[in-house]
Structure 1
Amino acid sequence: MLSRYQLQTARTHYMYLPDAMVSSKHTRNVNQIQSDKLYQDAWNKDKTNITIPSDMPGMLQAPINALQISNKFYQKDWNETKQKGYDFKADAIEIKQAKDSRDISSEQPLCRDAWEREKANVNVPADTPGMLQSKINAVQISDKHCNQA
């Protein structure tokens, strides 16, 4: 006895559906849509018909931006600034404060001094195999030189 969820194979009817049931009209439309040449031709035709109002914020800001990034105006402003001749004295209070804060915040001299102090005090345990072997070698070499002389 079959359960009610199982199907009897004799009662099921199979229908053959081909995988490629695509009409030629559909494929032609897809090829036209995906064609780069047609897309570019349409864009080239449309881009000449686009108009931007001259009172849009982007259009108003464009000439101002062009002046600001212009090298000619930049150099002119720089030359005017140089001609004003600002005079910075080396002993001004602000400059002294800036130098002092730079020295305080810079830890490079402190680290360098600590490294120089620690470099001379390298502590290696004397009972490591390498140290024992180097002591034995030193004794043997000194004995050889003493016996030769």
Structure 2
Amino acid sequence: MKGLFPEHINLTAKVLDLRLQRQNLVSSNLANVTTPGYKPKRLEFEKQLQSALNLDARGKMTKTSDMHIPATFNANEFSGDTISKFKPRVVHGEDSVDVDREMVTMSKNSMMYNALTQVIKKNFQGMQKVIMDGAK
């Protein structure tokens, strides 16, 4: 049975959660920049996520036409439940907090988070349009 939400909504939600966890860790690192002996932490999940989704360098594409190059990842066969047990890896730092590095990480993470929220927003706008058109 086809669901109300697109199949990738669970995956998008999980990645949003991971990005939020990363943002919290970076904020913690910045808050402890003057704490003696504090070692920064970072959250790694991109490589493990690609591995969980069975993506390689070619697999980042989605085949939408028979004329396209074959890809490992097939969006039609994917369900967001694939990574429900996926655990990110928290890496404890070896150096002191580098404010510039943390700020770059925070900025990049924020942009990626915002991009994912736009994806979800478009899904809901599409549903809203269907509902509004059906009410006419």
Shorter-normalised TM range = under 0.3
Structure with the larger RCO, 1 or 2 (CA within 8 Å, 6+ apart) = 2
> So what's the TM-score if we normalise by structure 1?
0.18
Higher-strand-fraction structure:
2
Q: TM-score, normalised by structure 2?
A: 0.19
